[in-house]
Structure 1
Protein backbone atom coordinates (compact mmCIF):
# COMPACT_ATOMS: atom_id res chain seq x y z
CA UNK A 1 0.00 0.00 0.00
CA UNK A 2 1.09 3.61 -0.42
CA UNK A 3 2.80 5.64 2.29
CA UNK A 4 0.40 7.09 4.83
CA UNK A 5 0.41 10.35 6.70
CA UNK A 6 1.56 10.22 10.29
CA UNK A 7 -1.27 12.32 11.37
CA UNK A 8 -2.29 9.83 13.15
CA UNK A 9 -4.57 8.37 10.45
CA UNK A 10 -2.64 5.69 8.60
CA UNK A 11 -4.23 6.35 5.27
CA UNK A 12 -7.25 7.89 3.60
CA UNK A 13 -9.84 5.60 2.03
CA UNK A 14 -9.73 5.86 -1.75
CA UNK A 15 -11.69 2.76 -2.75
CA UNK A 16 -14.71 2.96 -0.49
CA UNK A 17 -17.17 0.22 -1.35
CA UNK A 18 -14.89 -1.56 -3.84
CA UNK A 19 -14.62 -5.31 -3.13
CA UNK A 20 -11.20 -6.22 -1.74
CA UNK A 21 -12.05 -9.90 -1.20
CA UNK A 22 -14.64 -12.03 -2.98
CA UNK A 23 -15.74 -15.48 -1.84
CA UNK A 24 -17.28 -17.73 -4.46
CA UNK A 25 -19.10 -20.91 -3.55
CA UNK A 26 -17.05 -21.65 -0.45
CA UNK A 27 -17.37 -25.17 0.91
CA UNK A 28 -15.33 -26.50 3.83
CA UNK A 29 -15.71 -30.07 4.98
CA UNK A 30 -13.84 -31.63 7.88
CA UNK A 31 -13.49 -35.39 7.92
CA UNK A 32 -15.10 -37.78 5.48
CA UNK A 33 -17.87 -40.30 5.09
CA UNK A 34 -20.63 -40.52 7.64
CA UNK A 35 -18.68 -38.46 10.18
CA UNK A 36 -17.94 -35.56 7.82
CA UNK A 37 -18.78 -32.10 9.13
CA UNK A 38 -19.85 -29.58 6.49
CA UNK A 39 -18.76 -26.34 8.16
CA UNK A 40 -19.52 -24.22 5.09
CA UNK A 41 -21.85 -25.11 2.24
CA UNK A 42 -21.63 -22.76 -0.73
CA UNK A 43 -21.08 -19.29 0.75
CA UNK A 44 -20.75 -16.29 -1.58
CA UNK A 45 -19.57 -12.93 -0.24
CA UNK A 46 -18.03 -9.64 -1.32
CA UNK A 47 -15.98 -7.73 1.27
CA UNK A 48 -15.78 -4.03 0.30
CA UNK A 49 -13.21 -1.44 1.35
CA UNK A 50 -14.15 1.03 4.11
CA UNK A 51 -17.09 -1.15 5.11
CA UNK A 52 -17.74 -3.22 8.23
CA UNK A 53 -18.99 -6.71 7.38
CA UNK A 54 -20.37 -8.48 10.43
CA UNK A 55 -20.84 -12.25 10.43
CA UNK A 56 -23.28 -13.67 12.94
CA UNK A 57 -24.91 -17.01 13.60
CA UNK A 58 -25.29 -19.63 16.33
CA UNK A 59 -22.37 -21.66 17.60
CA UNK A 60 -21.28 -24.12 14.93
CA UNK A 61 -22.77 -22.10 12.09
CA UNK A 62 -19.42 -21.67 10.32
CA UNK A 63 -18.41 -18.13 11.36
CA UNK A 64 -14.83 -18.90 12.36
CA UNK A 65 -14.39 -21.23 9.38
CA UNK A 66 -15.46 -18.45 7.03
CA UNK A 67 -13.08 -15.94 8.61
CA UNK A 68 -10.22 -18.43 8.44
CA UNK A 69 -10.83 -18.96 4.72
CA UNK A 70 -11.10 -15.24 3.99
CA UNK A 71 -7.91 -14.57 5.93
CA UNK A 72 -5.88 -17.30 4.28
CA UNK A 73 -5.52 -19.32 7.49
CA UNK A 74 -7.30 -22.29 5.89
CA UNK A 75 -8.20 -23.45 2.40
CA UNK A 76 -11.69 -24.35 1.16
CA UNK A 77 -12.64 -27.86 0.15
CA UNK A 78 -14.09 -26.22 -2.95
CA UNK A 79 -14.81 -22.68 -4.08
CA UNK A 80 -12.49 -19.68 -4.21
CA UNK A 81 -11.34 -16.65 -2.26
CA UNK A 82 -10.30 -14.03 -4.82
CA UNK A 83 -8.26 -10.90 -4.11
CA UNK A 84 -8.91 -7.59 -5.84
CA UNK A 85 -5.78 -8.06 -7.95
CA UNK A 86 -7.32 -11.19 -9.44
CA UNK A 87 -5.25 -13.73 -7.57
CA UNK A 88 -7.08 -16.69 -6.07
CA UNK A 89 -5.89 -16.65 -2.46
CA UNK A 90 -7.17 -20.14 -1.80
CA UNK A 91 -5.04 -21.55 -4.66
CA UNK A 92 -1.76 -19.71 -4.10
CA UNK A 93 1.37 -21.56 -2.94
CA UNK A 94 1.79 -21.41 0.83
CA UNK A 95 4.71 -18.98 0.52
CA UNK A 96 2.53 -16.53 -1.42
CA UNK A 97 -0.37 -16.94 1.00
CA UNK A 98 2.00 -16.12 3.85
CA UNK A 99 3.13 -12.98 2.01
CA UNK A 100 -0.49 -11.88 1.52
CA UNK A 101 -1.23 -12.44 5.20
CA UNK A 102 1.80 -10.42 6.24
CA UNK A 103 1.30 -7.55 3.81
CA UNK A 104 -2.44 -7.18 3.34
CA UNK A 105 -4.32 -8.78 6.24
CA UNK A 106 -4.49 -7.81 9.91
CA UNK A 107 -5.91 -10.19 12.52
CA UNK A 108 -7.59 -9.39 15.84
CA UNK A 109 -8.17 -12.33 18.17
CA UNK A 110 -10.70 -12.83 20.96
CA UNK A 111 -7.92 -13.93 23.32
CA UNK A 112 -5.79 -10.86 22.42
CA UNK A 113 -2.82 -13.06 21.42
CA UNK A 114 -0.16 -10.84 22.97
CA UNK A 115 3.31 -12.07 23.95
CA UNK A 116 3.45 -11.68 27.77
CA UNK A 117 7.16 -10.82 28.00
CA UNK A 118 6.96 -8.07 25.38
CA UNK A 119 5.83 -4.49 25.98
CA UNK A 120 2.85 -3.05 24.16
CA UNK A 121 5.17 -1.41 21.62
CA UNK A 122 7.15 -4.62 21.13
CA UNK A 123 3.97 -6.61 20.56
CA UNK A 124 2.81 -4.11 17.96
CA UNK A 125 6.23 -4.25 16.32
CA UNK A 126 6.17 -8.01 15.66
CA UNK A 127 4.55 -7.87 12.17
CA UNK A 128 7.09 -5.26 11.06
CA UNK A 129 9.98 -7.42 12.21
CA UNK A 130 8.56 -10.26 10.14
CA UNK A 131 8.47 -7.87 7.18
CA UNK A 132 12.09 -6.84 7.91
CA UNK A 133 11.10 -3.21 8.14
CA UNK A 134 13.98 -0.90 9.09
CA UNK A 135 14.31 -0.02 12.81
CA UNK A 136 13.57 3.68 12.25
CA UNK A 137 10.47 2.92 10.23
CA UNK A 138 9.36 0.33 12.78
CA UNK A 139 9.60 2.87 15.59
CA UNK A 140 7.65 5.45 13.63
CA UNK A 141 4.86 3.08 12.62
CA UNK A 142 4.53 1.56 16.10
CA UNK A 143 4.18 5.01 17.65
CA UNK A 144 1.64 5.92 14.98
CA UNK A 145 -0.43 2.76 15.56
CA UNK A 146 -0.44 3.14 19.36
CA UNK A 147 -1.49 6.76 19.00
CA UNK A 148 -4.30 5.69 16.69
CA UNK A 149 -5.78 3.38 19.34
CA UNK A 150 -5.17 5.80 22.21
CA UNK A 151 -2.30 3.95 23.90
CA UNK A 152 0.69 6.17 23.19
CA UNK A 153 1.36 6.57 26.93
CA UNK A 154 1.28 2.81 27.53
CA UNK A 155 3.95 1.79 25.01
CA UNK A 156 6.37 0.37 27.59
CA UNK A 157 3.82 -1.56 29.63
CA UNK A 158 3.50 -5.32 29.37
CA UNK A 159 0.15 -7.07 28.87
CA UNK A 160 -0.29 -7.95 32.56
CA UNK A 161 -0.06 -4.23 33.35
CA UNK A 162 -2.93 -3.40 31.02
CA UNK A 163 -6.69 -3.87 31.29
CA UNK A 164 -8.51 -6.26 28.97
CA UNK A 165 -9.71 -3.37 26.82
CA UNK A 166 -6.20 -1.94 26.60
CA UNK A 167 -4.82 -5.34 25.63
CA UNK A 168 -7.34 -5.59 22.82
CA UNK A 169 -6.36 -2.10 21.69
CA UNK A 170 -2.77 -3.33 21.50
CA UNK A 171 -4.06 -6.23 19.42
CA UNK A 172 -5.82 -3.82 17.07
CA UNK A 173 -2.69 -1.65 16.80
CA UNK A 174 -0.66 -4.75 15.95
CA UNK A 175 -3.20 -5.66 13.26
CA UNK A 176 -2.99 -2.17 11.75
CA UNK A 177 0.74 -1.46 11.98
CA UNK A 178 1.56 -3.21 8.72
CA UNK A 179 -1.06 -1.04 6.98
CA UNK A 180 -3.37 -3.84 5.83
CA UNK A 181 -6.38 -3.24 3.64
CA UNK A 182 -8.21 -6.24 5.16
CA UNK A 183 -8.99 -6.71 8.85
CA UNK A 184 -10.24 -10.04 10.20
CA UNK A 185 -11.59 -10.09 13.77
CA UNK A 186 -13.10 -13.20 15.38
CA UNK A 187 -15.27 -12.28 18.39
CA UNK A 188 -12.96 -9.37 19.31
CA UNK A 189 -15.11 -8.30 22.27
CA UNK A 190 -15.94 -11.78 23.55
CA UNK A 191 -13.75 -11.52 26.67
CA UNK A 192 -14.62 -7.94 27.57
CA UNK A 193 -17.27 -6.42 29.80
CA UNK A 194 -20.09 -4.59 28.06
CA UNK A 195 -18.73 -1.07 28.60
CA UNK A 196 -15.23 -1.95 27.41
CA UNK A 197 -16.69 -3.94 24.52
CA UNK A 198 -18.66 -0.88 23.40
CA UNK A 199 -15.47 1.17 23.35
CA UNK A 200 -13.69 -1.45 21.24
CA UNK A 201 -16.69 -1.62 18.90
CA UNK A 202 -16.58 2.15 18.42
CA UNK A 203 -12.88 1.94 17.64
CA UNK A 204 -13.33 -0.83 15.08
CA UNK A 205 -16.13 1.03 13.31
CA UNK A 206 -14.18 4.30 13.29
CA UNK A 207 -10.98 2.70 12.00
CA UNK A 208 -12.81 0.75 9.31
CA UNK A 209 -14.23 3.91 7.82
CA UNK A 210 -11.38 6.35 8.48
CA UNK A 211 -8.65 3.96 7.29
CA UNK A 212 -10.59 2.55 4.35
CA UNK A 213 -10.19 -1.00 5.63
CA UNK A 214 -12.30 -3.95 4.50
CA UNK A 215 -13.23 -5.33 7.91
CA UNK A 216 -14.86 -8.70 8.59
CA UNK A 217 -15.91 -9.27 12.20
CA UNK A 218 -17.72 -12.24 13.72
CA UNK A 219 -19.75 -11.37 16.78
CA UNK A 220 -22.86 -12.05 18.82
CA UNK A 221 -22.95 -8.48 20.10
CA UNK A 222 -26.18 -6.76 19.13
CA UNK A 223 -24.64 -3.29 19.25
CA UNK A 224 -21.85 -4.13 16.81
CA UNK A 225 -24.32 -6.00 14.60
CA UNK A 226 -26.51 -2.88 14.48
CA UNK A 227 -23.56 -0.85 13.20
CA UNK A 228 -22.64 -3.19 10.37
CA UNK A 229 -22.54 -1.92 6.80
CA UNK A 230 -23.14 -5.49 5.67
CA UNK A 231 -24.63 -8.23 7.82
CA UNK A 232 -24.02 -11.87 6.93
CA UNK A 233 -26.00 -14.51 8.79
CA UNK A 234 -24.90 -18.13 8.74
CA UNK A 235 -26.89 -21.21 9.72
CA UNK A 236 -25.49 -24.72 9.30
CA UNK A 237 -22.74 -23.38 7.06
CA UNK A 238 -25.10 -21.56 4.70
CA UNK A 239 -25.60 -17.85 4.21
CA UNK A 240 -29.23 -17.15 4.92
CA UNK A 241 -29.49 -13.40 5.41
CA UNK A 242 -27.72 -10.30 4.18
CA UNK A 243 -28.96 -6.94 5.40
CA UNK A 244 -27.36 -3.51 5.76
CA UNK A 245 -27.47 -1.74 9.09
CA UNK A 246 -30.13 0.91 9.48
CA UNK A 247 -27.42 3.25 10.70
CA UNK A 248 -25.79 5.50 8.16
CA UNK A 249 -22.06 6.04 8.48
Structure 2
Protein backbone atom coordinates (compact mmCIF):
# COMPACT_ATOMS: atom_id res chain seq x y z
CA UNK A 1 0.00 0.00 0.00
CA UNK A 2 1.25 3.48 -0.87
CA UNK A 3 0.15 6.65 0.88
CA UNK A 4 2.15 9.08 -1.24
CA UNK A 5 3.76 8.62 -4.64
CA UNK A 6 5.85 10.89 -6.82
CA UNK A 7 6.17 9.84 -10.45
CA UNK A 8 8.99 11.43 -12.46
CA UNK A 9 8.43 14.78 -10.75
CA UNK A 10 10.30 17.79 -12.13
CA UNK A 11 10.06 21.42 -10.99
CA UNK A 12 11.58 24.16 -13.13
CA UNK A 13 11.58 27.84 -12.19
CA UNK A 14 11.87 30.58 -14.78
CA UNK A 15 13.70 33.74 -13.84
CA UNK A 16 15.63 36.51 -15.63
CA UNK A 17 15.61 34.56 -18.85
CA UNK A 18 17.18 31.50 -17.26
CA UNK A 19 15.46 28.26 -16.29
CA UNK A 20 16.51 26.64 -13.01
CA UNK A 21 15.67 23.00 -12.42
CA UNK A 22 15.15 22.57 -8.67
CA UNK A 23 13.86 18.98 -8.83
CA UNK A 24 14.52 16.63 -11.73
CA UNK A 25 12.72 13.37 -12.52
CA UNK A 26 12.18 12.26 -8.91
CA UNK A 27 10.14 9.12 -8.28
CA UNK A 28 9.34 8.01 -4.75
CA UNK A 29 6.79 5.89 -2.86
CA UNK A 30 5.92 6.37 0.82
CA UNK A 31 4.00 3.67 2.67
CA UNK A 32 1.75 4.12 5.73
CA UNK A 33 3.87 4.15 8.89
CA UNK A 34 7.08 4.69 6.94
CA UNK A 35 9.59 7.43 7.75
CA UNK A 36 11.49 8.60 4.68
CA UNK A 37 14.34 11.03 5.30
CA UNK A 38 15.60 13.22 2.46
CA UNK A 39 19.19 14.43 2.69
CA UNK A 40 21.43 16.63 0.59
CA UNK A 41 23.37 19.86 0.71
CA UNK A 42 21.69 23.25 0.78
CA UNK A 43 20.27 23.91 -2.67
CA UNK A 44 19.89 20.21 -3.45
CA UNK A 45 16.13 20.61 -3.90
CA UNK A 46 14.88 19.16 -0.60
CA UNK A 47 12.42 21.92 0.26
CA UNK A 48 11.15 22.17 -3.31
CA UNK A 49 10.51 18.43 -3.36
CA UNK A 50 8.65 18.63 -0.06
CA UNK A 51 6.52 21.52 -1.32
CA UNK A 52 5.58 19.59 -4.45
CA UNK A 53 4.79 16.44 -2.47
CA UNK A 54 2.51 18.39 -0.17
CA UNK A 55 0.68 20.34 -2.84
CA UNK A 56 2.19 23.68 -1.84
CA UNK A 57 3.72 23.84 -5.32
CA UNK A 58 2.82 22.16 -8.58
CA UNK A 59 5.32 20.10 -10.60
CA UNK A 60 6.38 21.27 -14.04
CA UNK A 61 6.29 17.65 -15.17
CA UNK A 62 5.32 14.34 -13.60
CA UNK A 63 2.66 13.90 -10.97
CA UNK A 64 2.08 13.37 -7.26
CA UNK A 65 -0.51 10.89 -6.01
CA UNK A 66 -1.96 11.08 -2.50
CA UNK A 67 -3.84 7.83 -2.20
CA UNK A 68 -5.77 7.64 -5.47
CA UNK A 69 -5.86 11.40 -6.02
CA UNK A 70 -3.57 13.01 -8.58
CA UNK A 71 -2.70 16.38 -7.01
CA UNK A 72 -1.67 17.76 -10.39
CA UNK A 73 -5.21 17.36 -11.69
CA UNK A 74 -6.94 19.19 -8.82
CA UNK A 75 -8.07 22.79 -9.03
CA UNK A 76 -6.92 25.28 -6.40
CA UNK A 77 -9.92 24.76 -4.09
CA UNK A 78 -9.65 20.98 -4.17
CA UNK A 79 -5.90 21.14 -3.62
CA UNK A 80 -6.39 23.46 -0.63
CA UNK A 81 -8.85 20.93 0.83
CA UNK A 82 -6.30 18.14 0.43
CA UNK A 83 -3.63 20.21 2.18
CA UNK A 84 -6.05 21.05 4.99
CA UNK A 85 -7.48 17.59 5.57
CA UNK A 86 -4.85 15.06 4.56
CA UNK A 87 -1.38 16.58 4.88
CA UNK A 88 0.33 17.65 8.11
CA UNK A 89 3.23 20.10 7.94
CA UNK A 90 6.03 20.68 10.45
CA UNK A 91 8.29 23.66 9.80
CA UNK A 92 11.86 24.49 10.85
CA UNK A 93 10.67 27.89 12.11
CA UNK A 94 7.90 26.22 14.17
CA UNK A 95 5.22 28.38 12.49
CA UNK A 96 3.23 29.00 15.67
CA UNK A 97 0.90 31.99 16.09
CA UNK A 98 2.47 34.07 18.92
CA UNK A 99 -0.78 35.37 20.45
CA UNK A 100 -2.36 31.91 20.73
CA UNK A 101 -1.74 29.36 23.46
CA UNK A 102 -0.27 25.95 22.69
CA UNK A 103 -3.76 24.43 22.70
CA UNK A 104 -5.14 27.17 20.47
CA UNK A 105 -2.30 26.69 17.98
CA UNK A 106 -3.02 22.97 17.82
CA UNK A 107 -6.70 23.75 17.36
CA UNK A 108 -6.20 25.95 14.26
CA UNK A 109 -6.39 23.20 11.59
CA UNK A 110 -9.40 21.66 13.34
CA UNK A 111 -11.25 24.98 13.14
CA UNK A 112 -10.42 25.12 9.44
CA UNK A 113 -11.88 21.64 9.11
CA UNK A 114 -14.97 22.80 11.06
CA UNK A 115 -14.61 19.99 13.58
CA UNK A 116 -17.29 20.33 16.30
CA UNK A 117 -16.11 22.06 19.50
CA UNK A 118 -16.33 19.02 21.78
CA UNK A 119 -14.35 16.86 19.36
CA UNK A 120 -11.83 19.68 18.84
CA UNK A 121 -11.16 19.86 22.56
CA UNK A 122 -10.67 16.09 22.77
CA UNK A 123 -8.32 15.96 19.78
CA UNK A 124 -6.26 18.92 21.00
CA UNK A 125 -5.86 17.30 24.41
CA UNK A 126 -4.93 13.97 22.81
CA UNK A 127 -2.33 15.58 20.52
CA UNK A 128 -0.68 17.54 23.35
CA UNK A 129 -0.62 14.39 25.47
CA UNK A 130 1.06 12.49 22.63
CA UNK A 131 3.91 15.02 22.46
CA UNK A 132 4.27 15.30 26.24
CA UNK A 133 2.85 18.80 26.61
CA UNK A 134 -0.47 18.18 28.35
CA UNK A 135 0.65 20.46 31.17
CA UNK A 136 1.57 23.33 28.84
CA UNK A 137 -1.71 23.79 26.98
CA UNK A 138 -2.27 27.36 28.22
CA UNK A 139 1.25 28.63 27.56
CA UNK A 140 2.06 30.83 24.59
CA UNK A 141 5.02 30.13 22.29
CA UNK A 142 7.32 32.69 23.96
CA UNK A 143 6.84 30.82 27.25
CA UNK A 144 8.07 27.56 25.74
CA UNK A 145 11.53 26.30 24.82
CA UNK A 146 12.45 25.69 21.19
CA UNK A 147 11.95 21.97 21.62
CA UNK A 148 8.57 22.49 23.22
CA UNK A 149 7.50 24.84 20.42
CA UNK A 150 8.45 22.24 17.84
CA UNK A 151 6.46 19.63 19.74
CA UNK A 152 3.44 21.95 19.60
CA UNK A 153 4.02 22.12 15.84
CA UNK A 154 4.03 18.33 15.65
CA UNK A 155 0.87 18.14 17.75
CA UNK A 156 -0.82 20.65 15.44
CA UNK A 157 0.13 18.59 12.39
CA UNK A 158 -1.14 15.36 13.92
CA UNK A 159 -4.37 16.75 15.41
CA UNK A 160 -5.86 16.96 11.93
CA UNK A 161 -5.19 13.21 11.55
CA UNK A 162 -3.38 13.45 8.21
CA UNK A 163 -2.38 10.49 6.10
CA UNK A 164 0.94 12.18 5.28
CA UNK A 165 3.33 14.15 7.49
CA UNK A 166 5.90 16.45 5.86
CA UNK A 167 8.64 18.05 7.95
CA UNK A 168 11.22 20.48 6.55
CA UNK A 169 14.37 20.53 8.69
CA UNK A 170 12.23 20.17 11.85
CA UNK A 171 15.28 20.14 14.13
CA UNK A 172 17.29 22.81 12.32
CA UNK A 173 16.90 25.39 15.09
CA UNK A 174 17.40 22.99 17.99
CA UNK A 175 20.48 21.88 19.89
CA UNK A 176 21.65 18.32 19.29
CA UNK A 177 20.04 16.84 22.41
CA UNK A 178 16.66 18.47 21.82
CA UNK A 179 16.89 17.60 18.12
CA UNK A 180 17.35 13.93 18.97
CA UNK A 181 14.32 14.05 21.29
CA UNK A 182 12.11 15.69 18.67
CA UNK A 183 13.18 13.34 15.89
CA UNK A 184 12.64 10.38 18.19
CA UNK A 185 9.13 11.65 18.85
CA UNK A 186 8.40 12.01 15.12
CA UNK A 187 9.69 8.49 14.48
CA UNK A 188 7.60 7.00 17.28
CA UNK A 189 4.42 8.79 16.25
CA UNK A 190 4.80 7.96 12.55
CA UNK A 191 5.14 4.27 13.31
CA UNK A 192 2.42 4.24 15.98
CA UNK A 193 -0.14 6.20 13.97
CA UNK A 194 0.57 4.65 10.57
CA UNK A 195 1.30 8.02 8.96
CA UNK A 196 3.54 8.16 5.91
CA UNK A 197 6.23 10.78 6.59
CA UNK A 198 8.88 12.59 4.58
CA UNK A 199 11.43 14.58 6.58
CA UNK A 200 14.30 16.67 5.23
CA UNK A 201 17.45 17.08 7.31
CA UNK A 202 21.16 17.85 7.19
CA UNK A 203 21.81 15.92 10.40
CA UNK A 204 23.50 12.57 9.78
CA UNK A 205 22.51 11.38 13.26
CA UNK A 206 18.84 11.88 12.47
CA UNK A 207 19.17 9.93 9.23
CA UNK A 208 19.79 6.81 11.31
CA UNK A 209 16.18 6.85 12.52
CA UNK A 210 14.73 6.58 9.02
CA UNK A 211 13.16 3.56 7.39
CA UNK A 212 14.57 4.76 4.07
CA UNK A 213 16.99 7.51 3.10
CA UNK A 214 16.73 9.47 -0.13
CA UNK A 215 19.85 11.40 -1.17
CA UNK A 216 19.38 14.42 -3.44
CA UNK A 217 22.04 16.18 -5.48
CA UNK A 218 21.19 19.07 -7.80
CA UNK A 219 17.53 18.07 -7.64
CA UNK A 220 18.10 14.44 -8.62
CA UNK A 221 17.88 11.30 -6.52
CA UNK A 222 21.36 9.81 -6.39
CA UNK A 223 20.63 7.04 -3.92
CA UNK A 224 17.80 5.43 -1.94
CA UNK A 225 18.90 3.22 0.93
CA UNK A 226 18.16 2.03 4.44
CA UNK A 227 20.25 3.34 7.34
CA UNK A 228 22.73 1.11 9.13
CA UNK A 229 21.05 -1.24 11.66
CA UNK A 230 23.22 0.15 14.44
CA UNK A 231 21.37 3.48 14.18
CA UNK A 232 17.92 2.03 14.95
Query: TM-score, with normalisation over the residues of structure 2?
Result: 0.97
Question: Alignment length, in residue pairs?
Answer: 231
Which residues of 2 match residues 104-119 of structure 1 at below 5 A?
A: 104-119=86-101
Please give the alpha-carbon distance, in whole angstroms, between the structure 2 residues aligned to 1:115 and 1:33.
35
Mapped contact 1:69–1:90 kept (Cα < 8 A):
no
Map Cα deviations across residues 65-102 of structure 1 (whole Å, 9 max, x no partner).
Answer: 00000000000011000122x22112211111111111
Compute the displacement of 1:39 (Å).
0.3
Match of 2:132 in 1: 150
Aligned pair 1:57/2:34, yes or no?
no
- Aligned to 1:19, the other structure's residue is in SS state coil
Which residues of 2 match residues 154-165 of structure 1 at below 5 A?
A: 154-165=136-147
For residue 214 of structure 1, the aligned residue among 190, 193, 196 is: 196
- Aligned to 1:99, the other structure's residue is in SS state helix
Compute the displacement of 1:32 (Å).
5.5
Map Cα deviations across residues 187-235 of structure 1 (whole Å, 9 max, x no partner).
Answer: 0000000110010011011001001010000001112101111110110
Mapped contact 1:184–1:215 kept (Cα < 8 A):
yes
Match of 2:174 in 1: 192
- Aligned to 1:118, the other structure's residue is in SS state coil
Match of 2:72 in 1: 90
Query: TM-score, with normalisation over the residues of structure 1?
Result: 0.90
Please list every run of 5 or more consecutive structure 2 residues that lacks an aligned counterpart in the other structure.
none
Mapped contact 2:168–2:201 kept (Cα < 8 A):
yes
Please give the alpha-carbon distance, in whole angstroms, between the structure 2 residues aligned to 1:230 and 1:77.
26
Match of 1:76 in 2: 59
Please give the alpha-carbon distance, in whole angstroms, between the structure 2 residues aligned to 1:127 and 1:120.
13
Map Cα deviations across residues 18-76 of structure 1 (whole Å, 9 max, x no partner).
Answer: 21111011110111585211001110100111010000001111000000000000000
**More divergent stretch after superposition (114-123 vs 33-42):** 33-42
Compute the displacement of 1:246 (Å).
2.6
Aligned pair 1:47/2:30, yes or no?
yes
- Aligned-pair Cα RMSD in Å: 1.2
**More divergent stretch after superposition (90-99 vs 172-181):** 90-99
For residue 49 of structure 2, the aligned residue among 61, 66, 75 is: 66
Please give the alpha-carbon distance, in whole angstroms, between the structure 2 residues aligned to 1:105 and 1:134.
20
Please list every run of 5 or more consecutive structure 1 residues that lacks an aligned counterpart in the other structure.
1-17
Aligned pair 1:128/2:110, yes or no?
yes
Mapped contact 2:26–2:220 kept (Cα < 8 A):
yes
Please give the alpha-carbon distance, in whole angstroms, between the structure 1 residues aligned to 2:95 and 2:139.
16
For residue 226 of structure 1, the aligned residue among 178, 199, 208 is: 208
**More divergent stretch after superposition (190-199 vs 26-35):** 26-35
